[in-house]
Structure 1
């Protein structure tokens, strides 16, 4: 099924049906009795991507570990089955879902500090450097969990999905060439600030509207990692791929905190071990994925162009990053500044460790 063509009413019906099913089994799945644990629980997990995409691979590795090492089961809901990203977050906070994968691009309205990932040219785009950072960062592993806890969420993992690539209706090599272009962004104030700094007009849209908006020229471009551009068919309606080197796409896997806190020690350890297993698999899986998906795109369409900005061209965009950083601090205050300082220290440490 091509989810781009599913009417909103059908998605709403699917969501209502899933809600009813979840409600019927909610007491059983959250039971803390010894008998329920022995028999196993059914846990529900939603993410934002299509079959075979990075979040889907992570979710199924998590499911694999849980089901191989316990009587528990995990039911996966892919993009569109329960609505958009905001919908699955609401369902998780309400306790209808036990686990969720959501990009900080959408979590930014709940957790402003999570927008740090949208400061351009902050994170490296090289695979080895980014993996080292996520494994060892104090900001990621020590500071972020407290921020998510405030929203009733147990942060279990953050991981990168690949370099962000811009697609547009024509080649773009400078901020001046972005002028007058409506570029789709997630509903994230700081990402909007990034594209304003880059010279474009940021246009927030939910994912389900992006393909049609590109097709009808309501927007003239968007950004995503290559695998998502390929699986979502975005290159069909936005064929000019521009590697600006400005960002990595990051996602977070979370649990409803009340559910998580109610687990036995054994099940908590099971969840933690399953998360570590899935995250390590993704650390090994993502490097090289972008190149592989780019080849698929180029094989499928002769209209696709690939523009990789040279250092001088990137510098023109990089020079505009400080105003985005200043906006981040303005939005998040002292806590955001402390997080940013720790980010920079962690990035420096990870680079030094490689050298």
Structure 2
């Protein structure tokens, strides 16, 4: 009986060890003496430059850490919408995310999305990489979100099945936008009918006529093949959006000083790589969209700027005079 009991104890211990091994080897974001697993989610397709840039981040981190940090990438909203992925990062269920949806936690970061704020990529980058970029990100630390770098999302343009050459062309246009207050306010000021929905649902919505139009940077339009369901690419350039890359603050604080430096520097290097990639490839993408039958419309943007000035006044109280004036002065000096 004693030997039988010993055998049963050994079997129980073996099963327990097996379950532990399964848990550790299948679980994500496991820290051990040998490795740190960092899960990184984003909402773009695997053909998108965003995914290419995040893969570059993975290569940099794994090389610089000599394999001590392992980066697992989850593109294409595999782990939920951008808003849901950000929430997962606040809880440390996901360690990093690249997204434009941080305004759900603090509106201050969305100040750079004011319509027609920037005329060029360089203006935007100068502001984001300076003191203002740090200031607008700081409140997110209260929600366990540390912004490490600003990846590129680009200038946004409107695709539709009709040309948009003047503000009047927006009247009654049912256009999909992200569920961001500034996006909704911008298109309301132009007389459109903004309709928020998840990006993953957009192609089907355009195909079925649930919405008439959408607005996105060229890279997203190209990667998502919107030329198959939209006839016109209208270069409204109505909004610039960065793509902040955030890491869970608790996870960040658990890293050694050396690993923090590796992750932060790799984030910045990958962000710059993403920016250069977008600028380099954008004209080629436009050419290919045109070859696929999409018609290009380049409207005079001053009338659109004039109509969206009301957005600045409605958000001035929210952002505060001091911050808004600081951003406007910084843009002017860029």
TM-score (norm 1): 0.82
Which of the numbers 233, 238, 242 marks the counterpart of 1:241? 233
Paired residue for 2:147?
155
Structure-2 change in CA distance of 1:246 and 1:27 (3 Å): closer
Q: Tell me the alpha carbon deviations over residues 244-303 of structure 1, each in whole angstroms, 9 at most, x when there is no partner.
A: 12222311000001110121111111111211221222232221322111112122x22x
In the alignment, the residues of structure 1 paired with residue 24 and residue 89 of structure 2 have an alpha-carbon distance, to the nearest angstrom, of 11
In the alignment, the residues of structure 2 paired with residue 28 and residue 130 of structure 1 have an alpha-carbon distance, to the nearest angstrom, of 37
Paired residue for 1:307?
297
Paired residue for 1:353?
none
2:28/2:37 contact within 8 Å kept: no
Q: Tell me the alpha carbon deviations over residues 90-148 of structure 1, each in whole angstroms, 9 at most, x when there is no partner.
A: 21111111111111xx2222211222233111122x3343333433x3211x2023122
**Matching of residue 47 in structure 1 with residue 31 in structure 2:** no
Which of the numbers 81, 84, 88 marks the counterpart of 1:87? 84
Which of the numbers 111, 132, 139 marks the counterpart of 1:139? 132
Paired residue for 1:190?
182
In the alignment, the residues of structure 2 paired with residue 79 and residue 224 of structure 1 have an alpha-carbon distance, to the nearest angstrom, of 16
1:119/1:321 contact within 8 Å kept: no
Counting matched residue pairs gives: 311
- What is the Cα-based RMSD across aligned positions, in Å? 2.0
1:164/1:246 contact within 8 Å kept: yes
How far is 1:193 from its partner? 0.6
Structure-2 change in CA distance of 1:223 and 1:205 (3 Å): same
Paired residue for 1:25?
27
In the alignment, the residues of structure 1 paired with residue 197 and residue 23 of structure 2 have an alpha-carbon distance, to the nearest angstrom, of 30
In the alignment, the residues of structure 2 paired with residue 23 and residue 122 of structure 1 have an alpha-carbon distance, to the nearest angstrom, of 48
How far is 1:27 from its partner? 7.3
TM-score (norm 2): 0.87
Tell me the SS of whatever aligns to 2:204. helix
1:131/1:283 contact within 8 Å kept: no
Q: Tell me the alpha carbon deviations over residues 47-80 of structure 1, each in whole angstroms, 9 at most, x when there is no partner.
A: 1111132321221111111111112110000013
2:29/2:37 contact within 8 Å kept: no
How far is 1:227 from its partner? 1.3
Paired residue for 1:346?
330
1:134/1:159 contact within 8 Å kept: no
Tell me the SS of whatever aligns to 1:244. strand
Which structure would you say has the larger Rg?
A: 2
Q: Tell me the alpha carbon deviations over residues 179-230 of structure 1, each in whole angstroms, 9 at most, x when there is no partner.
A: 1111111011221110011111111111122112111222111110111101
Structure-2 change in CA distance of 1:21 and 1:244 (3 Å): farther
5+ long unaligned stretches in structure 2: 1-21
In the alignment, the residues of structure 2 paired with residue 119 and residue 250 of structure 1 have an alpha-carbon distance, to the nearest angstrom, of 12
